[in-house]
Amino acid sequence: MSTIKFELNDKNEIISYVKQGGIVGVDLVNFDDNKLPDGFYENYKPSFYLLENNEIVENPNYVALNPPKTGPSQQDKINAQIMLTQAKQKVEQDKFNAQILLKLTGGTK
C-alpha cells in the first residue's frame, strides 16, 4: 500500500499534500493513495477537496481564489515618470550642447 499525506485545515479541507517525506512543523494525515478519486492530481487546488469519513470528496463550499492583480505599483509609476522626465531633459540638453558646439566650431552663424 502506498500512501499520500495531507495537510488539513480546521474544516478538513485538504490544503496541501506530499507523496514522499513530510512538511516540517506540519501535522500530516496518511491516506491510501489507491482510494484517491479519479482526477485528483489534475483537479487538485487547495481546499477543493475535503477528507470526510476517510474518503476524499469535492468541497461543496469551494470558491476559486482570484489571483491578485499584478502590475506596476504607485511607486513604480512615479519612478517611471521621473525616468521619462529625465530622459526628455537629457535629449533637450544634448540638443543644446550640439548647438553650442556648432557655434564654437563655426558651423552655424
Per-residue model confidence as pLDDT tens digits over 74-96: 999 999 999 999 999 999 999 99
The residues, ordered by sequence, that sit 6+ positions from 2 with a Cβ below 8 Å of its Cβ are: 32, 33, 34
Residue span of the structural domain in which 20 resides? 3-58
Based on the fold, state whether residues 51 and 76 are members of the same structural domain: no
* Same domain assignment for residues 40 and 78: no
Predicted TM-score of the model (pTM): 0.59
Summarize the confidence of residues 61-85 as an average pLDDT.
90
Calculate mean pLDDT across residues 54-78.
90
In angstroms, the CA 37 to CA 50 distance is 11
Residues 53 and 76 in one domain: no
For the chain, what is the domain count? 2
In a domain, 40, yes or no: yes
Residues 76 and 50 in one domain: no
Q: Within a domain: residue 7?
A: yes
pLDDT of residue 64: 87
Angle at 86 between CA 81 and CA 90, to 5 degrees: 150
